[in-house]
Amino acid sequence: MDTKTLARYTARARILKAMAHPTRLFIVDELSRGEKCVCELTALIGADISTVSKHLSILKNLGIVQDEKRGLQVYYHLKTPCVMNFFDCCELVMKTRTGE
């Protein structure tokens, strides 16, 4: 695989990697129904707020979510809702797997 090809797949892999975590998938799913602040997400997830903040920064650095500070809170929203398409395929993979 030449350098350019590798770079192309690496870039894509980075995005999938950002999604490939239960907490981050949950966050994306929640945000698909509208923006939420870090404290709301933290309450839903039940982890330390610093952990949730780090997950959000991973998603943000890859351009999947965007943040907006309003007062004391930082609200996050989905920037690229197409990531929701991942869910259906995951379900199909699981169904296909068990259906053998």
Selected from 55, 62, 72, 75, the binder of a copy of itself by CB under 8 A is 62
Residue in the block written with tokens 């004391």: 72
DSSP code for 58: H
Q: How many CA atoms lie less than 13 Å away from 71 in the CB half-sphere?
A: 3
> What residues have CB less than 8 Å from 77, skipping those under 6 apart?
31, 34, 35, 65, 66, 68
**Residues shown for the chain:** 100
39 part of the interface to a copy of itself, by CB under 8 A: no
Residues numbered 63 to 82 that lie near a copy of itself (CB under 8 A) are 63-64, 79-80, 82
Find residue 13's DSSP bridge partners.
none
Q: Which of 3, 4, 25, 35 binds a copy of itself (CB under 8 A)?
A: 25
**66 near DNA, judged by CB under 7 A:** no
Minimum Å gap between C-beta 38 and DNA is: 3
**Positions that interact with a copy of itself (CB under 8 A):** 1, 5-6, 9-13, 15-17, 19-26, 29, 44-46, 62-64, 79-80, 82-83, 85-94, 96-97
